[in-house]
Structure 1
Amino acid sequence: MASNKFQALGAGLSEDEEDNAHENIAHTAAMSVKVKPLEVPPDENPLQSTYCLWFTRKPSCKHFDQSLRQVGRFASCEQFWRLYSHLVRPGDLQSHSDFHLFKEGIKPMWEDEVNRYGGKWIVRLRKGLASRCWENLILAMLGEQFMVGDEVCGAVVSIRSHEDILSIWNRSASDSAATSRIRDTFRRVLNLPPGTHIEYKAHNDSIKDLSSFRNTDVFTR
């Protein structure tokens, strides 16, 4: 038996059963978030921003926004660790699953008003590295290590069949100084070898690519 409710995502269920289980879990979590206002108790350490954690899994429909499930949100270090301690690690998720950690008010979509003029740094990892690298990345983001003000919007880990993908999103693709600083910090916190290829892609280019290939699986985003 899975030791916590989030482990149902990787507990050997059929694809349909797993999707239904996660939808029920995420719906319950999202509803509880809406009912209870998020506050930081005086004995906890507040973060600079409130964050929302989202999950997606390749669905039968092609509307990405309908696949997003909010798992939870947090505004302090303690709230983060309480949530994180119950999550399946990325390396244990099934293929075509994604975690998205974004500042509250920003949906993890290219088309979001905050994201639409931005872009993302992408690194492709061999299997087995996703869990460690994801943890390093989100801790650096929560700890404001990127030093670019409010430029950073969020981060994504995408689990695929033969590789895993990490990305860090920022709001201004045209701000070369900020994007360069984000790239350098991204490389440092992941402890990547000097020759590791990191790619930057503006969200406008991604939207154009998707428009050109309407029949392409949107989960390649």
Structure 2
Amino acid sequence: MNNKFDALKDDDSGDHDQDNCSPKDGEKEKNDKEEKDSNTTKRKAVVPGAGEHPLQYNYSFWYSRRTPGRPASTQSYEQNIKQIGSFASVEQFWRFYSHMIRPGDLTGHSDFHLFKEGVKPMWEDDANKSGGKWIIRLRKGLASRCWENLILAMLGEQFMVGEEICGAVVSVRFQEDIISIWNKTASDQATTARIRDTLRRVLNLPPNTIMEYKTHTDSIKAWEDFHGLVNASGGR
């Protein structure tokens, strides 16, 4: 893939703080001020380092894994997604990505999420709730390459739809893998069509590839209907 990221693929200079911190409970005493300032700095929005190539938006990597067949509430899902860290430049992205397991090497029921900073990879998030996602189901063995091509296209602003892109997800399952790209406005058909066409191009998909667009409203309804049936039947 020929874009500005390729030239920096092997740049692994320096470490990048991973923003796994949760806010401290209560106020620190004044004699702990230095420690508090250090923790606060970690939670602030990341910025490009000196001489680095800034991205148009800041992004965060997330990871989730759950046991298949175990019903998940919205609350338990939110607790299960873990933020890996945030980045603001091409170089910071590669410092994360070069150390991450590739999707094709994940096991079980696992997901990587890459979303704009401040947007949670959840249907109900304010940035996502009126939107939807393009879904592509992949045979096993293709997830790593497709995921890399997708996120490089997203970070490189190849979709050309302004602020519409929210993030992308790769879902590793037992029989197949799934990639999706989320946008803000499901009702904007011109934008969703442009995202579809760009997705087809950057992933070099065969013409007969099935691509499904699903609104988050429909996803929520399907989830609620399914869990309502499970609860009504006494299943777990």
TM (norm. structure 2) is: 0.77
C-alpha distance 74-200 of structure 1, shift in aligned 2 (>3 A): same
1:51 aligns with 2:59: yes
C-alpha distance 34-103 of structure 1, shift in aligned 2 (>3 A): farther
CA RMSD across the alignment: 1.8
Aligned residue for 2:111? 98
Aligned residue for 2:20? 30
Cα offset, 1:216, TM superposition: 8.2
Higher percent of residues as helix: 1
Whether the 8 Å contact between 2:139 and 2:176 is mirrored in structure 1 is: yes
Aligned residue for 1:86? 99
SS state of the match for residue 83, structure 2? strand
Where structure 2 has 5 or more consecutive residues not aligned to the other structure, the ranges are 1-17, 23-38, 231-236
36-45 or 74-83: which moved more? 36-45
SS state of the match for residue 21, structure 2? helix
Distance 2:228 2:111 in 1: 21
User: 1:64-75, aligned counterparts within 5 Å?
Assistant: 64-75=77-88
Cα offset, 1:41, TM superposition: 1.7
Where structure 1 has 5 or more consecutive residues not aligned to the other structure, the ranges are 1-27
1:136 aligned residue (146, 149, 157): 149
1:190 aligns with 2:200: no
1:40 aligned residue (48, 55, 59): 48
Aligned residue for 1:208? 221
208-217 or 131-140: which moved more? 208-217
SS state of the match for residue 166, structure 1? strand
SS state of the match for residue 31, structure 1? coil
SS state of the match for residue 149, structure 1? coil
State the Cα deviation string for residues 121-160 of structure 1 (Å, max 9, x = none): 0000000000000000000000000000000000000000
> Which amino acid letter does the alignment assign opposite residue 47 of structure 2?
E
Q: Percent of counterpart pairs with the same letter?
A: 63
Distance 2:121 2:154 in 1: 15
SS state of the match for residue 116, structure 1? coil
SS state of the match for residue 208, structure 1? helix
SS state of the match for residue 166, structure 2? strand
Whether the 8 Å contact between 1:118 and 1:171 is mirrored in structure 2 is: yes
Whether the 8 Å contact between 1:210 and 1:216 is mirrored in structure 2 is: no
TM (norm. structure 1) is: 0.82
Distance 2:88 2:142 in 1: 27
Moved segments of 4+, more than 2 Å: 32-37
Distance 1:95 1:135 in 2: 20
Cα offset, 1:39, TM superposition: 2.1
Whether the 8 Å contact between 1:110 and 1:203 is mirrored in structure 2 is: yes
Q: How many residues align?
A: 190
> Which amino acid letter does the alignment assign opposite residue 60 of structure 2?
C
The structure with the largest alpha-carbon Rg is 2
SS state of the match for residue 120, structure 1? strand
